[in-house]
Amino acid sequence: METTAQRHLMDRTTSDLYFHAERTQPVPDSLGQDLLLRVLDEVDYGLLVIDAQGHIRHANHLARHEMSTGRVIVTHARSLLGRNTELTTQIQSALEHALRGQRRLLQLKQGEHELSLAFVPLSHPLEFDAPTVLVLLSRKNACDNLALRMFARSQNLSPSEEAVLLALCRGASIPEIAADHKVAESTVRSQIKALREKTGCGSIRALMQKVHSLPPMVPALRVISAMQHNAMEFAQP
């Protein structure tokens, strides 16, 4: 018969084996650079990482696209610049503050185009690492969010109801939606009522709040345009 001492010895041996197995388990590798770049490209906001020298270390797909259009911001010699001298001065000032650990928000406008930029320090000024800044670009159009299309499908919206939802997201009024869709205003109001009932929202405002809280997913079919740089050229080892 097994004695108490034998049981204690077996329990201790089993515990030691489990402890040894846990310590000998291979530690999973950290996320690779290629995978991290892919992750950033799937976020529906333009993102740039800028180092202490003002050089762009990385720009995701939407940031590269925005700079390639030259509407408000551009890139030259691996630096983030504005479309004109005044915008460039504002960007450089915000970047300098962010490198010192201060967050900044810019509202830039060039002609009919507007763009917001948030400058976020990625390191503390008292840390030993070289300071780095994350620049977030405002989303151009919430209606382009892939999650919005997926949301419409999950709520069993009809094609016409989905079209009305997209129009509301763009800020269109009921008369404007009716004119665009060539239907009566009463039809649009009925569709909006159906939208509220299917989504469980008591008002259009509540519906818009729900839509704007959806995860920022980049559409699968991205806009393709000529770009001076690609993601790997921005990335540094």
Helices marked H in the chain: 4-24, 33-41, 61-69, 85-99, 146-154, 159-169, 174-181, 185-199, 204-212, 231-234
Contact 58, 80 (CB under 8 A): no
C-beta neighbour count of 196 within 10 angstroms: 15
Q: Please, what's the b/e burial string for 160-182 (b: 16 or more CB within 10 A of its CB; e: otherwise)?
A: ebbbbbbbbbeebebeebbeebe
Q: Given a cut of 70, is residue 100 above it in pLDDT?
A: yes
Q: Please state, in angstroms and rounded to a whole number, the distance separating the CA atoms of residues 51 and 44.
A: 23
Per-residue confidence (pLDDT) for residue 225, from 0 to 100: 45
Q: Measure CA 118 to chain center.
A: 13
Q: How confident is the model at residue 25 (pLDDT cuts 50, 70, 90)?
A: low
Q: Given a cut of 70, is residue 8 above it in pLDDT?
A: no
Flag the least confident range among 30-39, 60-69, 135-144, 171-180.
30-39
Classify residue 54 by its DSSP letter.
S
Average pLDDT over residues 2-12: 52
- Specify burial of residue 189 (Cβ count, 10 A radius: 0-12, 13-18, 19+): middle
Q: Given a cut of 50, is residue 235 above it in pLDDT?
A: no
Q: How confident is the model at residue 103 (pLDDT cuts 50, 70, 90)?
A: very high
Per-residue confidence (pLDDT) for residue 125, from 0 to 100: 61
